Amino acid sequence: MQTATKQTMTERPYHIPQFLSSANMERLEKVMVLQRASEGSHLFWEGDTADKLYFVKKGAVKLMKSTEDGRSIILQIAQAGDLFGEFGDPGAMSFGYDAVVLAEATLGVIALSDLENLMRSSGDFAVEFVKWQSLMQRAAQTKLRDLLLYGKSGALAATLIRLASSCGIRTERGVRISMRLTHTDLAHMIGSTRESVNRLISEYRAEGALDFQKGYITVKDEAFFKDMVGGTDIPLELCRI
């Protein structure tokens, strides 16, 4: 696998620049149209025509699915280096979720028609892109496993592990998650209620496994949470939120 750039603090093994060669990443960037989006704004709503992909250059975007009875689940938090959207027949597909800007963002917007032309004209680009898509599918499968097999407590434990890996800063006290989160946000990540998350966070704090102050979580005992999900590490390339 060729990498476009040397990995930095914001680049992870699952980010698409780690899958594309320098030349192919340059090709992709040439068809991007830059868009800036303010915190709290919607890039699109569920049901809108899915004729674009979004590459996050800066900021963060929450991909969220809601039901008619008002329940919500966060499918992904896309950060710098992430690419998201629906890939299919332009004009025939619609987005199955909302995209809400969590932190002021700069995005590269890619028309699906331009991406298709890139894949037709460059076989090596197409191969690298499909490899990235395959990894994204595997990552989604592991998150689904965590939600279904480990119960709410295990699902929250796995989510905290993923948050620490995706946006954690290692300190003397543990891994501080740089993203400010509410108990409601955490509940939406595991398909639970705020009350259930409140109780679980209180239990984890009592065990000395984490600290939660002013919306910022510090994971103090990673082994505590790993034991709750089978005691094995989630592979780094799949450990994303």
Looking at the structure, tell me whether residues 25 and 54 fall in a common domain: yes
Q: Please check whether residue 137 lies inside any domain of the structure.
A: no
Q: Can you tell me the distance from the alpha carbon of 180 to that of 161, in angstroms, rounded to the nearest whole number?
A: 15
Question: 128: helix, coil or strand?
Answer: helix
Strands across the sheet containing 216-219: 168-171, 174-177, 216-219, 210-213
- pLDDT tens, residue by residue, 163-204: 998 888 999 999 999 988 999 999 999 989 999 999 999 999
Does residue 179 belong to any structural domain of this protein? yes
User: Does residue 128 lie within any of the structural domains?
Assistant: no
Which tokens hold the place of 77?
């938090």
Query: Does residue 2 fall inside a structural domain?
Result: no
Q: Please give the Cα distance from 80 to 218 (Å, whole number).
A: 22
Same domain flag for 64 and 115 = yes
Write the pLDDT tens digit of every residue in 35-75: 999 999 999 999 999 999 999 999 999 999 987 777 889 99
Comparison of pLDDT for 129 and 2, the residue scoring more: 129
- Please state, for a pLDDT cut of 70, what percent of the chain lies above it: 93
- Residues with Cβ within 8 Å of 113's Cβ and at least 6 positions away in sequence, in order, are 51, 90
C-alpha 176/C-alpha 184 separation (Å) is 19
Query: CATH no. for residue 71?
Result: 2.60.120.10
Q: Has residue 28 got a pLDDT over 80?
A: yes
Average confidence score pLDDT of the chain: 88
What's the structural domain count of the chain? 2
- Given a cut of 50, whether residue 6 has pLDDT beyond it is no
Both 112 and 155 in one domain: the answer is no
Q: Which residue reads 């969220």 in tokens? A: 64
Same domain, residue pair 89 and 175: no
163: CATH = 1.10.10.10
Instruction: Tell me the residue range of the domain where 219 lies.
Output: 142-238
